[in-house]
Structure 1
Amino acid sequence: MIIKTSAILLHTIRYGDSSMIAHMYTRQAGRMAFMLHTVKSRRGSVRASMLIPLTILHIEADVRDKRELQRIIEMKPALVFSSLPFDVVKSAIAMFIAELLYRLLIEHEPNTGLFDYLQTIIEKIDADNKLQPSFLLVFMVSLSGFLGIRPTGRFSSQTPVFDLLNGVFIASAPEHPHYLLPEQAHYLDKILLSSGDQTVHDIPKDIRNTLAEQLIRFFELHFEGIGNIRSYQVLSQVFKD
């Protein structure tokens, strides 16, 4: 079957001298893997600018149910980045988000709501002159909702601890070690109340760093086997100063 769809590039793996495997999240068919030939063909060549993490593409592909690697017929950029590849901070953010999505989006079923949200986020990263420090925290909390694990309950004097394992605000520290202390849980609650708005301004830097690490842990607890998100180490170095 020939399909035409928008796609977000998540990850590439070199395959031989002139090919690579590209993992993409498509609007029409969910996550898919494609074999790309990087040498010139009648349809043109795969340009390096189309292989940047989070690149949004228009693709035409020959898709077969029993084939693990689908075949790209044609692809072209749907968005030409104006700043993302040239900005160290934005590039690090894009690498982190792409790796997180690559490890979390394992289902092949489409989710147009999620795709449209991701496209909006990518456009925002590229367009904004300066992203808010809480940007990634708000993104990860919003992503958890699309994945069906959005934190539940509210922070209060009666429920000041957030249980990462069970995804709920609770009265006191659980027996397991996976939880947020009240100061951290308070800011998580503020992010939840922001309803996806990217301007939670008053989170102290040390709390932001802890929350980022703990939200990654939250995903690890709920999606077994996703492995270490290596790009976060690069991102944390970028934000170190």
Structure 2
Amino acid sequence: MNLHFIALKATKHSDSQIILTAYSRELGRVAFALPAGTGKSAARMRALTMPLSLVECASDPRPGREILPMRQVVQSIPLVELHSDPFKQMIAMFVAEVLAAVLQSGGADEGMYEFLEAAVRILDGADSRQTANFHICFLYNLGRRLGIEPDVSTYTQGSLFDMEDGTWRMTAPLHRRYLGEEASLLAWRLSRMTFANMHRFRFNRMERNAILDGILEYFSIHYVSMRRLHSLDILRSLL
């Protein structure tokens, strides 16, 4: 069976084996066994399966088999800048770590796969202004695909964003998970961000990190905890 997948993370399983977690078009979340070591074959395999690599391979999935073998491994789409630009590499590591946390279970979702593949290709070809906001745009649109997008129809001027309800309201809720007026306006503006216009949104480092914190907290409330992302601190230092 041929599988098309997006590489997410590699974990050392033993001295001779690495487990690659990936998201495939055909099966959803999958795990592959890769050779560890310093030989040419192992080095080539690691190069082909860097975070967010778009890969095609042959495999033999069977009921009850949790870790799949892989052979005839090739890049399905070459990603030149994603694997050579240090900034894009860091964003790829962050996005892959988020996806590994979010895409925990469930079968194939071709719509999700196509969204992810398109996003990876956009990141690979993005210029510096687009790259700076890519992770913000990606996370917002990922939330939309996961069904946790805030109800933007509830926004009115001067309203406050309730993080727990995912709505805007004119009075502060009894809990503390809500944004002030200025941040609430910004949260509404994010709903208008797309990959095509993300370069038009201008933020400084402090604003960009505050937005990122808010989105990750929202994911933690509504989907899965984002509080243990190892790549987050490094990403903050680069933005």
TM-score by length of 2: 0.88
Unpaired runs of 5+ residues, structure 1, are none
* AA at the equivalent of 1:108: G
The aligned counterpart of 2:32 is 34
Amino acid at match of 2:46: A
Q: Does 1:210 align with 2:177?
A: no
Q: Which runs of 5+ in 2 are unaligned?
A: none
Cα distance in 2 between the residues matched to 1:175 and 1:48: 50
More helix by share: 2
Aligned with 1:10: secondary structure?
strand
- Distance, in Å, in 2 between the alignment partners of 1:61 and 1:131 is 39
**Alignment partner of 1:193: what SS?**
coil
After TM superposition, the structure 1 = structure 2 runs for residues 121-132 of structure 1, keeping only pairs within 5 Å, are 121-132=119-130
**Alignment partner, residue 12 of structure 1:** 10
* Corresponding position of 2:62: 64
In proportion to residue count, which structure has more strand?
1
**C-alpha distance in 2 between matches for 1:96 and 1:147:** 18
Instruction: Indicate the SS of the match to 1:85.
Output: coil
Distance of 2:200 and 2:166 partners within structure 1: 21
On the 8 A contact 1:190/1:200 being kept in 2, the answer is: no
Q: Which has the larger displacement, 51-60 or 184-193?
A: 184-193
Q: Which residue of 1 aligns with 2:178?
A: 179
Q: In percent, how many aligned pairs have the same letter? A: 24
CA distance in 2, matches of 1:205, 1:171: 29
Q: Which aligned segments of 4 or more residues in structure 1 are displaced greater than 6 angstroms?
A: none
State the number of aligned residues: 234
SS class of match (2:8): strand
Greater shift in the superposed pair: 192-201 or 180-189? 192-201
- Look up the equivalent residue of 1:184 and give its one-letter code: A
- Does residue 146 of the first structure (1) align with residue 145 of the second (2)? yes
Contact (CA 8 Å) 1:62, 1:73: kept in 2 or not? no
Structure 1 residues 188-197 or 169-178, which shifts more? 188-197
The corresponding residue for 2:102 is: 104
Query: Residue 220 of structure 2 corresponds to which residue in structure 1?
Result: 220
Deviation of residue 86 (structure 1)? Answer: 2.1
Tell whether 2:78 aligns with 1:55.
Answer: no
CA apart distance, 1:145? 0.9
Contact 2:15 2:37 (8 Å CA) reproduced = no
2 CA distance for matches of 1:230 and 1:123? 24
> Residues 25 and 131 (structure 1 numbering): CA distance in 2 closer, same or farther, change over 3 Å?
farther
Counterpart of 2:85 (choices 81, 84, 87) is: 87
Call closer, same or farther: CA 1:104–1:150 in 2, change over 3 Å.
same
- AA of the residue aligned to 2:136: L
The separation in 2 between residues aligned to 1:195 and 1:82, in whole angstroms, is 23
* Aligned residue type for 1:140: L
TM-score, with structure 1 as normaliser: 0.88
